């Protein structure tokens, strides 16, 4: 059968004019017309109609359960629960690490392990160097506290360094020029990563922690 041109189709008596198709396989030319534009219509398959009505029904069921009966948790509640779970996991990991860590362990085990120090250096260059400088000098103290001048403002013990990195500037302190240290233990670093950065700083400042050497 030769392909019919649009004008031949519209003039073909087999094409009925109606508001919409009512029978399966029926093709109608809809009666409405706008600016010379006409529209054909065919009856939609049952599977498509079933999907449409099922989706509409699911919407009303969900709307009733969520907004009317308040039987489903809100997105904010779900997010709060996820954040709380993450914080709980962080706290657990920190406690497990602290159970096996002290000043001597940091100096004599962590800071003497080349792989740990290398990992700490990598983290430091990505997360800490912007303020403290790649050379630990903090641009002479203009962008942060220097970490190579032998002065540890919040305590000079290895675990003090770990704590300031993990917990940030202590409550009540104004920080440096009003800028406070980020609590990295709550802002992207695991307890192990904080220990690695601490080990790197210890390795870079051997004289400051010489008294802990075995």
**Alpha carbon separation from 65 to 78, 110, 127 (Å, rounded):** 16, 54, 45
Closest-CA residue to 29 (of 45, 18, 44): 18
Residues 80 and 60 in one domain: no
Residue 137 maps to a domain = yes
**Among 68, 84, 110, which residue terminates a domain?**
68
Domain count, the chain: 2
**Alpha carbon separation from 198 to 23, 67, 105, 140, 209 (Å, rounded):** 77, 50, 12, 21, 12
pLDDT at position 117: 96
**Among 45, 68, 91, which residue terminates a domain?**
68
pLDDT digit string (tens) for the chain, length 214 residues: 344 444 544 444 567 888 888 888 888 998 888 888 989 888 888 899 999 999 999 999 999 998 888 888 888 888 999 988 988 888 888 888 888 899 999 999 999 999 999 999 999 999 999 999 999 999 888 889 999 999 999 999 999 999 999 999 998 888 888 888 999 998 889 999 999 999 999 999 999 999 999 8
Residue 35 maps to a domain = yes
Alpha-carbon distance of 29 to 16, in angstroms, equals: 6
Alpha-carbon distance of 155 to 36, in angstroms, equals: 84
Alpha-carbon distance of 139 to 117, in angstroms, equals: 23
pLDDT at position 4: 42
pLDDT at position 13: 53
Residues 24 and 79 in one domain: no
Residues 174 and 86 in one domain: yes
End-to-end C-alpha distance for the chain, whole angstroms: 96
Residues 81 and 105 in one domain: yes
Residue 1 maps to a domain = no
Residue 39 maps to a domain = yes
Which neighbouring-strand residues pair with 67? none
Binning the chain into helix, strand and coil, the percentages to the nearest 5 are: 55, 5, 40
Domain extent, residue 22, equals: 6-68
């Amino acid at each position: 059968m030769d392909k019919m041109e649009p004008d031949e189709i519209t003039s073909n008596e087999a094409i009925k004019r109606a508001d919409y198709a009512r029978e399966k396989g029926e093709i109608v030319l809809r009666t409405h017309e706008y600016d010379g534009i006409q529209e054909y219509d065919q009856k939609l398959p049952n599977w498509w109609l079933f999907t449409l009505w099922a989706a509409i029904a699911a919407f009303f069921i969900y709307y009733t359960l969520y907004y009317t009966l308040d039987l489903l948790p809100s997105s904010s509640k779900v997010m709060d629960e996820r954040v709380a779970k993450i914080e709980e996991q962080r706290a657990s990991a920190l406690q497990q690490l602290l159970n096996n860590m002290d000043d001597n362990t940091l100096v004599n085990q962590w800071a003497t392990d080349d792989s740990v120090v290398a990992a700490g250096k990598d983290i430091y260059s990505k997360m800490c160097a912007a303020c403290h400088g790649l050379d630990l000098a903090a641009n002479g103290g203009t962008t942060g506290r220097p970490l190579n001048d032998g002065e540890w403002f919040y305590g000079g013990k290895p675990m003090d360094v770990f704590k300031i990195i993990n917990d940030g500037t202590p409550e009540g302190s104004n920080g440096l020029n009003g800028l406070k240290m980020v609590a990295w233990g709550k802002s992207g670093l695991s307890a192990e990563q904080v220990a690695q950065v601490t080990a790197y700083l210890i390795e870079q400042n051997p004289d400051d922690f010489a008294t802990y050497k075995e």
